[in-house]
Structure 1
Amino acid sequence: MTAGELAVDGLTLTAGARRLVRDVSLTAHPGEVIGLVGPNGSGKSSLLRAVYRVLRPAEGRVRLDGADAWSLPVRQLARSVAAVVQESGTDFDLSVREVVAMGRTPHKRLLSGDTAEDARLIEEALATVHVSELAGRPFDRLSGGERQRVLIARALAQRPSLLVLDEPTNHLDIRHQLDVLGALRRLPATVLVALHDLNLAAYYCDRLYVLRDGEVTASGPPAEVLTPRLLAEVYGVASEVAVHPLTGAPQVTFLPGDTGHGRSRDGEDRSAVRTPGAARAGD
């Protein structure tokens, strides 16, 4: 599956009288990893739900390769878009391999079996997130972190042109966080991912969109977006941001005390990045 150009234009989402997202626009291109960051309740998950067509826009459009995503046939959308969500409801009475094989379903005819290509892609997805040794285990007996990796493998097996992930590193230890995000970084697909860990977002994402109260507060390369002043305004925390000497990515250090919008508790102005540098070192 190729292409995967995503454009969100003037998106507004509501739930009853409550506004979840207001006038949000973003773009994402094949091969890019685009990060959504922001505090709890900022609208990240709602925005993702509109992209993978669960929450219908009140205003605006979601376009995939120029077409309105909400006008696409269900089968075409299933072939193009894969999602890994937080509220999965995933007590499958299936083996791990069978769960991952579900990712191939949109590409197959009804009741048709796995082809040699399907089998290859399933094994490749299992290996990518290091769950090959779990392939024969019952999915419902796995730990939370193991389940998360299997669900990511299912999405990878689908080979979508657009992959949408809501906090995919939840429940994962640090090694598997790095493994999963590294795998996303290498995909030819367009990747849109919500993350809480700003340092992981700074290293693995090409661009960030910062959401606050349902609106985009800032967007751009991580080195331009992740400033102490913005972190104080959006998260209400004091911080220092430096460039990591080995990775070249911005590194955020949070500081105790009140913020004063970019000032530490001792009054020192911390509203600028101390050292300029690239957003992300080469992989």
Structure 2
Amino acid sequence: MTAARLSLDGVTLTAGARALVRDVSLTARPGETIGLVGPNGSGKSSLLRTVYRVLRPGSGRVLVDGEDAWSLPVRRLARTVAAVVQEPAADFDLAVREVVAMGRTPHKRLLDGDTPEDAAFVRSALTAVDALHLADRPFDRLSGGERQRVLIARALAQRPALLVLDEPTNHLDIRHQLSVLGALRRLPATVLLALHDLNLAAYYCDRLYVLSGGAITASGPPAEVLTPRLLAEVYGVGAEVAVHPRTGAPQVTFLPEEAGDG
């Protein structure tokens, strides 16, 4: 499957009288890795939930390859979009390889068994997140970081055209943060993900959208978006931004209050 184009057009999402997301427009071109950044409560998770069809927008549209995601048949959507969410994973009473194989379900008919091709996809997905050695372990006995990698592998096994991830590096140590984001970057898919770590976002994302108070306050390539002025306005802290001498990506250093006041 080829990578999908994602377009959000004036998406607004409310909870009672409170606006969680306000008039957000966003585009992810096929094959791009797009990062959502912003402080807690800025609307990142809520916006992602409108894309993988958990929260219906009050107004605006979510388009996948030009079609309204909320009008697509469930099975077709599942073949196109995969999601890795922040909510705690269920305690599956299954081996890891069986959990990852669940990602193949949208591509099967009822009662179809696993094929050698399915097994190859599962193995490839587990290898991509450095979890092949966990394949026969019970999922419910894994650590938080191991579970996270397995759930990402399940999404990879789905072979989606659009992959949506909410803080996928949560619970991961530094080595696995880098390996997982590297694997996502190499996918022949469009990737939309929320990240807290701005330096990871700067290195792995083609473009960033900065959310604050449910609205987009800036968007563009990381080098254009991540400025001391914007970081002060959005995060309320002082910061220095330099160009990393080896990667060429912006490198953000947040300043303690006493340093910022000096």
- The two structures have a TM-score, normalised by structure 1, of 0.91
Match of 1:196 in 2: 196
Secondary structure, counterpart of 1:78 in structure 2: helix
Q: Distance in 1 between matches of 2:195 and 2:89?
A: 20
| Alpha carbons 1:162, 1:190 under 8 Å: kept | yes
| CA deviations over 1:97-117 (Å, ceiling 9, x no partner) | 000000000000111111111
Deviation at 1:17, TM superposition (A): 1.8
Q: Does 1:87 align with 2:87?
A: yes
CA contact (8 A) 2:3 2:31 kept: no
Q: Note if contact 1:34-1:206 (Cα within 8 Å) is conserved in structure 2.
A: yes
Match of 2:226 in 1: 226
Query: Is the CA contact (8 Å cut-off) linking 2:211 and 2:218 kept in structure 1?
Result: yes
Q: How many residue pairs were aligned?
A: 262
Whether contact under 8 Å (1:35, 1:208) holds in the other structure is yes
Listed as ranges, the matches of 1:1-283 within 5 Å are: 1-257=1-257, 264-266=260-262
Contact 1:4 1:29 in 2 (8 A): yes
Partner Cα separation in structure 1 for residue 4 and residue 31 of structure 2: 9
CA–CA distance in 1 between the matches of 2:258 and 2:53?
40
Match of 1:191, SS? Answer: strand
Contact 1:238 1:258 in 2 (8 A): no
User: What is the deviation of 1:89?
Assistant: 3.5
- 1:238-267 superposed Cα distances (whole Å, 9 cap, x missing partner): 0100000000000000111179xxxx312x
Flag structure 2 segments of 5+ consecutive residues without an equivalent. Answer: none
CA offset digits 1:124-147 (Å, max 9, x no partner): 001110111110000000000000
By how many angstroms is 1:88 displaced? 3.6
Task: Find runs of 4+ consecutive structure 1 residues off by over 4 angstroms.
Answer: none
Q: Is the 8 A contact 1:231 1:237 kept in 2?
A: yes
Matches of 1:228 and 1:89 in 2, distance apart?
A: 37
Verify the 8 A CA contact 1:3 1:65 in the aligned structure 2.
Answer: no
Rounded Cα–Cα distance in structure 1 between residues aligned with 2:65 and 2:157: 21
Helix, strand or coil at the partner of 2:9: strand
Which whole-Å CA distance do the structure 2 matches of 1:229 and 1:90 have between them? Answer: 41
Q: Structure 1 residue 3: deviation in Å?
A: 3.5
* TM-score normalized with structure 2 length: 0.98
Cα deviation for residue 90 of structure 1 reads 1.7
SS at match of 1:114: coil
SS of the aligned residue for 1:14 comes to strand
What is the CA–CA distance in structure 2 between the aligned matches of 1:23 and 1:235, rounded to whole Å? 21
2: CA distance, partners of 1:16 / 1:94: 39
Q: Is the 8 A contact 2:4 2:31 kept in 1?
A: no
Percent identity between matched residues is 81
Deviations 1:200-251 (A, max 9, x none): 0000000000000000000000000000000000000001000000000000
Query: Which structure 1 residue ranges, 5 or more long, are not aligned?
Result: 267-283
> For the aligned residues, what is the CA RMSD?
1.0
In 2, Cα distance between equivalents of 1:181 and 1:115 = 28
Structure 1 CA distance, aligned partners of 2:15 and 2:139?
33
